[in-house]
Structure 1
Amino acid sequence: MDSGAAKGLAFGGVIAVRLLPALVLGPLAGVMADRWDRRYTMVVCDLLRFVLFASIPTVVLFSDDPVVGVGWAAIATFLIESITLIWLPAKEAAVPNLIPRARLEASNQLTLVTTYGITPVLAALLLAGLNQLNASLSDVGVQWAAWATPSSLALYFNALSRLATALVVFFGIREISGHNGKNHKSDSMIRQFVDGWRFVGKTPLVRGLVFGILGAFAAGGVVIGTANFFAGELNGGDSTFAILFATIFVGLGLGIALGPRMIGALSRRRWFGLSIILAAGSVALLALATHLSVAVACTLLVGVGAGMAFLSGTTLLGGEVEDDVRGRVFAVVQTGTRVILMLAISLSGLLVGVGGSRAVAGTGLSISSTRVLLGVAGVLGVAAGLWAFRQMDDKPGVPVFADLFSSMRGRPLGIPEPVTGGVFIVFEGGEGAGKSTQIQHLAAVLTAQGREVIVTREPGATEVGSRIRRMVLETNTGQSGPALAPRAEALLYAADRAHHVSTVVRPALLRGAIVISDRYVDSSLAYQGAGRSLAVDEVQWLSAWATGGLKPHLVVLLDIDPSVGLARAQLRGSPDRLERESIDFHERVRQGFLDLALAEPNRYLVLDATKDEKELAEAISDRVGAILPPLPEPKPANRRVREAAMS
Structure 2
Amino acid sequence: MSSPGAQGDPSGAAAIRSVLRIRPFRRLWIVLGAASFGDWLGLLATSVFAASQVQGSTAKGAAFGSLIAIRLLPALLLGPVAGVFADRFDRRWTMVICDLLRFVLFASIPLYALTGAGGGLVVGWALIATFLIESVTLLWIPAKEAAVPNLIPRARLEAANQLTLITTYGLTPIAAAIVAAVLDRTVRGLVGGELPSWAEPAQLALWVNSFSRLATALVVAFGIKEISQSRGGEREQTEQSMFRQFVEGWKYISQTPLVRGLVLGIFGAFAGGGIVIGMAKFFAASLGAGDAAFYLLFGAIFVGLAVGIGLGPMIVRDMSRRRWFGMSIVLASASVLVLAFAIHLSMAILGAILVGAGAGMAFLAGTTLLGGEIADEVRGRVFAVVQIGTRLVLILAITLSSLLVGVGGSRRLTIADLGISVSSTRLLLLAAGAAGIFAGISAFGQMDDKKGVPVLADLWGSIRGRPLMPAEHFVSSGLFVVFEGGEGAGKSTQLAALAERLRAEGRDVVVTREPGATAVGERIRALVLDPTGEAAPSPRAEALLYAADRAHHVATVVRPALIRGAVVISDRYVDSSLAYQGAGRTLPVQEVSWLSSWATGGLKPDLVVLLDVDPHTGLSRVESRNAGTDRLEAESIAFHERVRYAFLDLAAADPKRYLVLDAARPAEEIAAAVARRVDEFLVDPAGIVHPRPAQGPDTSVQPELSDTELVSMERHT
Structure 2 letter corresponding to 1:399: P
Are 2:444 and 1:393 equivalent residues in the alignment? no
Does the Cα contact within 8 Å between 1:38 and 1:178 map onto a contact in 2? no
Alpha-carbon spacing, 1:70–1:465, altered in 2? closer, same or farther (3 Å)? same
Are 2:206 and 1:155 equivalent residues in the alignment? yes
1:604 match = 658
Find the aligned partners of 1:476 and 1:84 in 2 and give their Cα distance: 77
Find the aligned partners of 2:282 and 2:108 in 1 and give their Cα distance: 37
Find the aligned partners of 2:642 and 2:351 in 1 and give their Cα distance: 46
Find the aligned partners of 1:579 and 1:267 in 2 and give their Cα distance: 42
Percent sequence identity over aligned pairs: 65
1:645 match = none
Structure 2 letter corresponding to 1:395: K
Q: Which residue, 424, 431, 438 being the options, matches 2:487? A: 431
Alpha-carbon spacing, 1:630–1:536, altered in 2? closer, same or farther (3 Å)? same
Alpha-carbon spacing, 1:48–1:12, altered in 2? closer, same or farther (3 Å)? closer
Superposition map of 1:409-420 within 5 A:
409-416=464-471, 417-418=473-474, 420=476
1:41 to partner: Cα distance? 0.7
1:189 match = 242
Q: Deviations over 1:313-357 (max 9, x none)?
A: 111111111111111111111121122122211111112111223
Does the Cα contact within 8 Å between 2:309 and 2:357 map onto a contact in 1? yes
2:269 match = 216
Structure 2 letter corresponding to 1:385: G
Does the Cα contact within 8 Å between 1:16 and 1:342 map onto a contact in 2? no
Q: Secondary structure at the match of 1:350?
A: helix
1:576 match = 630
1:131 to partner: Cα distance? 4.6
Superposition map of 1:514-593 within 5 A:
514-570=567-623, 571-593=625-647
Q: Which residue, 211, 224, 243 being the options, matches 1:173? A: 224
Does the Cα contact within 8 Å between 1:36 and 1:178 map onto a contact in 2? no
Structure 1 letter corresponding to 2:633: E
Q: Deviations over 1:149-171 (max 9, x none)?
A: 44444333333332222111111
Q: Deviations over 1:391-420 (max 9, x none)?
A: 111111212111111112222212223454
1:51 match = 104
Superposition map of 1:189-268 within 5 A:
189-268=242-321
Q: Deviations over 1:364-401 (max 9, x none)?
A: 44443322222222222222111111111111121211
When normalised by structure 1's length, the TM-score is: 0.90
Find the aligned partners of 2:66 and 2:393 in 1 and give their Cα distance: 14
Does the Cα contact within 8 Å between 2:413 and 2:424 map onto a contact in 1? no
2:501 match = 445
1:422 to partner: Cα distance? 2.1
Does the Cα contact within 8 Å between 2:188 and 2:195 map onto a contact in 1? no
Structure 2 letter corresponding to 1:81: E
Alpha-carbon spacing, 1:372–1:161, altered in 2? closer, same or farther (3 Å)? same
Structure 2 letter corresponding to 1:292: L
The root-mean-square deviation of aligned C-alpha atoms, in Å, is: 2.5
Structure 2 letter corresponding to 1:429: G
Are 2:122 and 1:69 equivalent residues in the alignment? yes
Q: Deviations over 1:196-221 (max 9, x none)?
A: 11111111111111111111111111
Find the aligned partners of 2:628 and 2:347 in 1 and give their Cα distance: 68
1:601 to partner: Cα distance? 2.5
Find the aligned partners of 2:466 and 2:291 in 1 and give their Cα distance: 46
1:521 to partner: Cα distance? 0.3
| Bigger mean CA deviation after superposition, 205-214 or 129-138 | 129-138
1:75 to partner: Cα distance? 2.9
Find the aligned partners of 2:688 and 2:374 in 1 and give their Cα distance: 53
Q: Deviations over 1:473-525 (max 9, x none)?
A: 12335x4xx71122221111111111211222222222332221100001111
Q: Secondary structure at the match of 1:556?
A: strand
Q: Deviations over 1:115-168 (max 9, x none)?
A: 111111222333344455567668xx5776754444444333333332222111
Find the aligned partners of 1:292 and 1:587 in 2 and give their Cα distance: 55
Are 2:549 and 1:496 equivalent residues in the alignment? yes
Alpha-carbon spacing, 1:65–1:41, altered in 2? closer, same or farther (3 Å)? same
Alpha-carbon spacing, 1:35–1:419, altered in 2? closer, same or farther (3 Å)? closer
Find the aligned partners of 1:606 and 1:260 in 2 and give their Cα distance: 44
Q: Which residue, 128, 138, 142 being the options, matches 1:85? A: 138
Does the Cα contact within 8 Å between 1:279 and 1:303 map onto a contact in 2? yes
Find the aligned partners of 1:10 and 1:515 in 2 and give their Cα distance: 79
| Bigger mean CA deviation after superposition, 252-261 or 550-559 | 550-559
Does the Cα contact within 8 Å between 1:33 and 1:86 map onto a contact in 2? yes
Structure 1 letter corresponding to 2:537: L
Q: Which residue, 18, 25, 38 being the options, matches 2:91? A: 38
1:99 to partner: Cα distance? 0.9
1:108 to partner: Cα distance? 0.7
Structure 1 letter corresponding to 2:241: S
Structure 2 letter corresponding to 1:235: G
Q: Secondary structure at the match of 2:132?
A: helix
Find the aligned partners of 1:246 and 1:536 in 2 and give their Cα distance: 44
1:545 to partner: Cα distance? 1.1
Alpha-carbon spacing, 1:13–1:615, altered in 2? closer, same or farther (3 Å)? farther
1:640 match = none
Does the Cα contact within 8 Å between 2:475 and 2:563 map onto a contact in 1? yes
| Bigger mean CA deviation after superposition, 283-292 or 57-66 | 57-66
Q: Which residue, 442, 465, 484 being the options, matches 2:521? A: 465
Q: Secondary structure at the match of 2:656?
A: helix
Superposition map of 1:288-299 within 5 A:
288-299=341-352
Find the aligned partners of 1:433 and 1:408 in 2 and give their Cα distance: 39
| Bigger mean CA deviation after superposition, 609-618 or 100-109 | 609-618
Structure 1 letter corresponding to 2:72: L
1:370 match = 425
Say how many residue pairs are matched.
Answer: 622
Are 2:131 and 1:96 equivalent residues in the alignment? no
Find the aligned partners of 2:539 and 2:208 in 1 and give their Cα distance: 62
Find the aligned partners of 2:375 and 2:299 in 1 and give their Cα distance: 37
Structure 2 letter corresponding to 1:476: T
Find the aligned partners of 1:390 and 1:307 in 2 and give their Cα distance: 20
Does the Cα contact within 8 Å between 2:277 and 2:298 map onto a contact in 1? yes
Find the aligned partners of 1:178 and 1:444 in 2 and give their Cα distance: 67
Are 2:435 and 1:384 equivalent residues in the alignment? no
Structure 2 letter corresponding to 1:161: S
Find the aligned partners of 1:178 and 1:578 in 2 and give their Cα distance: 63
1:587 to partner: Cα distance? 2.6
Segments of structure 2 that go 5 or more residues without pairing to the other structure are 1-61, 690-717
| Bigger mean CA deviation after superposition, 613-622 or 498-507 | 613-622
Q: Deviations over 1:229-263 (max 9, x none)?
A: 11211112211111111111111111111111111
Find the aligned partners of 2:633 and 2:352 in 1 and give their Cα distance: 59
Alpha-carbon spacing, 1:263–1:99, altered in 2? closer, same or farther (3 Å)? same
Does the Cα contact within 8 Å between 1:442 and 1:617 map onto a contact in 2? yes
1:590 to partner: Cα distance? 2.1
Are 2:510 and 1:454 equivalent residues in the alignment? yes
| Bigger mean CA deviation after superposition, 148-157 or 379-388 | 148-157
Does the Cα contact within 8 Å between 1:12 and 1:345 map onto a contact in 2? no
Structure 2 letter corresponding to 1:499: H
Alpha-carbon spacing, 1:348–1:561, altered in 2? closer, same or farther (3 Å)? same
Does the Cα contact within 8 Å between 1:200 and 1:329 map onto a contact in 2? yes
Segments of structure 1 that go 5 or more residues without pairing to the other structure are 1-8, 636-647
Q: Deviations over 1:283-304 (max 9, x none)?
A: 2332222221111111111111
1:72 to partner: Cα distance? 3.2
Find the aligned partners of 1:593 and 1:573 in 2 and give their Cα distance: 25
When normalised by structure 2's length, the TM-score is: 0.82
Structure 2 letter corresponding to 1:291: H
Does the Cα contact within 8 Å between 1:263 and 1:408 map onto a contact in 2? yes
